[in-house]
Amino acid sequence: MYVSSLIRAAAVAALATTAAADGAAIVDALNNVDSETQQLEQTVQGWNGGYLGSIPIVTQSLHVLYAINDGTDTANDSDELTTDEALSIATAVSTLATTVNGTMSAIIDAHDEFEHLLLAPIVLLDLKKQKSASDEMSAAIIAKVPTALQAIAQNLVAPIDASFTQAIEVYSLSNGI
Ligand SMILES: *[C@@H]1O[C@H](CO)[C@@H](O)[C@H](O)[C@H]1NC(C)=O
Ligand SMILES: *[C@@H]1O[C@H](CO)[C@@H](O)[C@H](O)[C@H]1NC(C)=O
């Protein structure tokens, strides 16, 4: 009797730990996307428009893509989130939305330089991949948010999508290949 309730208590504690770790893991993954995206913004802002300097931008752009895919995997592997976990993720999503806005603005500002080097089509491809990866990550996270909070979650991720769309529109207008 004593042993079995001890085992049950341990099982409950283990479940609670797993659930709590999921929300935290998604927050970590979002913070990682945020820091890679900030680094991309700094790389673009520090660029002098030269060909060699564009290589670290393309590389960092890939890091952003990997970080987003990692976030999707983390969310996919997660259990249903508690309300508290969903709220902590909401904060991380708003922070990321602000960062993506800044990074997409910097990329839009650099459009003419990229076009001059005939690299605009490559940036466009990267942006499209990132947007579609980001849409998947958002969907994976929202799927784990309690139903009552899903509409709010949709509103929180919408600006991220809108920022990518703005940049994609600008790069779609280039006379690239
Ligand atoms: C995440 O799950 C969705 C829905 O089950 C699936 O379509 C998608 O391929 C998964 N993505 C990853 C990266 O595992
Ligand atoms: C960034 O946010 C501002 C204010 O909401 C908005 O006007 C602007 O279009 C956004 N830019 C991008 C690239 O998302």
Pocket test for ligand 2, best of 95, 100, 103, 105 (most atoms within 8 A of CB): 105
DSSP symbol at 146 = -
**φ/ψ of residue 3, rounded to 5:** -65, -45
Q: What is the pLDDT of residue 6?
A: 52
4-18, 36-50, 115-129: the lowest-pLDDT one: 4-18
Q: What is the pLDDT of residue 1?
A: 47
pLDDT exceeds cutoff 80 at 171: yes
pLDDT exceeds cutoff 90 at 10: no
Q: What is the pLDDT of residue 173?
A: 79
pLDDT band at 4 (very low <50, low <70, confident <90, very high): low
CA of residue 119 to ligand 1 center, whole Å: 31
Q: What is the pLDDT of residue 125?
A: 96
The Cβ of residue 111 has, within 10 Å, a number of other Cβ atoms equal to: 17
pLDDT single digits (tens) 110-164: 999 999 999 999 999 999 999 999 999 999 999 999 999 999 999 999 999 999 9
pLDDT exceeds cutoff 50 at 20: no
Q: How many angstroms from the chain centroid is the CA of residue 58? A: 17
Q: Which ligand is nearest to the CA of 161?
A: 2
Q: Domain map of the chain by residue range?
A: 21-172
Q: What is the pLDDT of residue 5?
A: 59
Question: Alpha-carbon distance 45 to 17, whole Å?
Answer: 41
Taking all residues of the chain, what is their mean pLDDT, rounded to a whole number? Answer: 90
Q: What is the pLDDT of residue 176?
A: 47
Q: Quick one: which atom of ligand 2 is closest to the CA of 166?
A: 13
pLDDT exceeds cutoff 80 at 17: no
The Cβ of residue 127 has, within 10 Å, a number of other Cβ atoms equal to: 22
Q: What is the pLDDT of residue 19?
A: 46
Question: Alpha-carbon distance 43 to 88, whole Å?
Answer: 29
